[in-house]
Structure 1
Amino acid sequence: MNKKSAIYVRVSTSHQIDKDSLPLQRKDLINYSKLILGIDNYVVFEDAGYSGKNTDRPAFKDMFNRIKEGEFSHLLVWKIDRISRNLLDFCSMYDELKKYNCTFISKNEQFDTSSAMGEAMLKIILVFAELERKLTGERVAATMLDRATKGLWNGAPIPLGYKWDKIIKFPVIDDEERLTVELIYNKYIETESTSAVVKYLNQHNIRTKRDGNWSTKTVGDILRNPFYKGTYRYNFRESARGKKKKENEWIVLDNNHDPIIALDLWTKCNNILDENAKKNSARFRAKSKTHIFAGLLECGECHKSFYSKSDKTSLDGYTPSIYTCSSRYNHLGCNQKTISDTIIGNFTLNFISNMIKLSKTYKKLSPEDIEKNLLSGSSFNDVKGIIEIDDIFNSFYNTSSKIFKPNKQETKPANIDLNKLDADLKKQHRALERLENLYLYDEKEMSEKDYILKKNIINTKIKEIDAKIKSSATISTSTYNINFFLNTATLELSKEIIEGNINMKSLIQRVGRDIIKEFVNSLITKITVRDRKVISIQFTNGLISTFIYEV
């Protein structure tokens, strides 16, 4: 193999970037490759502003993928800790390097792994590099704990109602913002509901500290925060949004600073929160009304989830569930109307029923015939077609003319993978939103370079997940497995589904909501609705059906 160097350079902070650390490393290593190793063919990989505690870095990943393809004979770094300060990460990486016959060289430590001594020195140095990192972390943590016990600020975001004072180096009351905090506490005492407080704040265009809309989470955080009663609490969680630590590890200083909320008002609000939390426990919810499509609905307008509640009971005793877009409910600009489980159920269950009826047809059908069969019945009078009909047709006749060929083994992993991908995608979108908020509104400024780098990483992950979802949504013969649709249904419900012409109201009265909900949740991961119509159904086995309506 012709010799070719992969030159890797990294710095941890924007300060180091500004001090020309990257250009220095780059120039030094290029000269080393040319003059010492005699290798003029090289590629430089740069990670600016990334920590060495793990290998989750874009340029590093790109470089390592190319090493695995056999492109490089040497990996050259300025210092060993430019690659990793984590012993396990490095050992794993080094084993991979040996597998692909790539020699590792650290210019500053003056060794290369083509010799046994160089390899031994490498491992010894890395052990001490990781030890130094851990000791530094412990020293920093101890210093911050000591500062907290003295009532000194350790750099968290400033709470609403306070502003930073450069002289005393601690938050002081902001006379304008304090009015919002006082309003939140007083409104909560009046309504005993975080949702009611959120609705009031958003209706009156009162913004959060970061100029955003309110949610029950942000209101709840303010009501729970002891900082507003003058108590400074530190070392409460493992990370900003991590698990709570044991109470004996907390640092709590009462009467540490000027409060916005009186102690008795803060205590009353938190007692109400505690009582409401008990009512909302799983045991209490189990006794509440079952809403069949709760947790499955997405707004086709703003892509937010739906809230569910019971509608008025009719004269015959039937009480439908109705669903409202959470964005509309919280007055965040969405104008979508409520929709009942009768509309959703008639459409969704009759569509499943038509699939099962179609499974009994053994003659070859055209895409038009399949679409016509799937959309037969009064529930689909205004539906013009299905976007994925060609995929449906191809899946029917891909490997066999026998429709709904049973294959339980293929369905199960698709179910697991798609759910995980869906969760990962939502997680990345939330991360992107948090990053943008951090860049735009946080007290501690983030540099534009850091913002762009981190945004690109998240966008890359989103694209990768999107590609996997599209790939896993490719429909195979097993997608339309009749067993998939009936495995989890009770005998009585199975008969209703097979017979078709389902009336949701009658079905609920005969079978019960709990059985239907269990059946629906075993089949469906998401139903998108808009203008009181079902726009698409995403099944747990990978099938997605998107409906085209008459204009």
Structure 2
Amino acid sequence: MTQKAAGYYWISPELYDQDTKIIVQKRKLLEAHCKQKDLVFLDLSVDLALVKNPLERPELKQLLMQLQPGEFLLVESMLDLGRRFNDVYSILKLFRDGLVKGGFISIREEIFLESKNCPPLFLDILPRIPQLKPHHRVRVMPTERTRSELSRNNGGACPYGYQINAVSNEYECLPEEAKVVVKIFRERAAGRSLRQIALGLTHAGVQTKRGGRWQANTIKTILENIFYTGSYQTHFKLFENHHAPIIDRELYYRVNHSDSFDDIAL
């Protein structure tokens, strides 16, 4: 039976102005892969980053419904499924649970899933998801640049727990705020809800960066931010050892593994 592949690409907001060029390049790459692997390339579906729930993206939703046995959802990289780990997990979970008839292929991470091999492979591939394991990301900054050069602030808001050194213009930890960040991650790992953590900090008199009250969404933003592991991430590049970490990656992994993470009541 001839196997087929339907390409997919989620395009992030910062790339909207380059979307036409990127989509053309993406289609050529996926077509070339299909030719190499003797797959029939169906088409490339593209979603803009307008829907929070990845399973409600119109193009992806339609694509997953139409996949048949012997057909695959094809992406160049897991990064093309979304920015967050939960985006990828939510989509792969459909394949694991047998809710999608076809299979899944990610070229860069060398992931190949079919209904017959998905359950045993699923746990094995989780550590290879780049949104969780940033050292698997491509285009890491060249090593010849010094840590000092990479650690300088290039503008934008400074995350809670850090400040910009007035002399070096580098990120440095604020000890008291860093303790709060660690507390947030540990309480979440222990099973406390986002609202419970926010209420606890507010009742303890802890203020946010702007001196306000803690909200569940504020807690969620901190928990999803890989910056606290010492890495600075853009859509295409990862700056490893960019600044002093507040938490380790293992804790970040444990906290962000849940497929129901978007529910602020949990």
- Look at both structures and tell me which one has the larger radius of gyration over its CA atoms: 1
Larger helix percent: 1
**What is the TM-score when the length of structure 1 is the normalising length?**
0.23
**What is the TM-score when the length of structure 2 is the normalising length?**
0.44
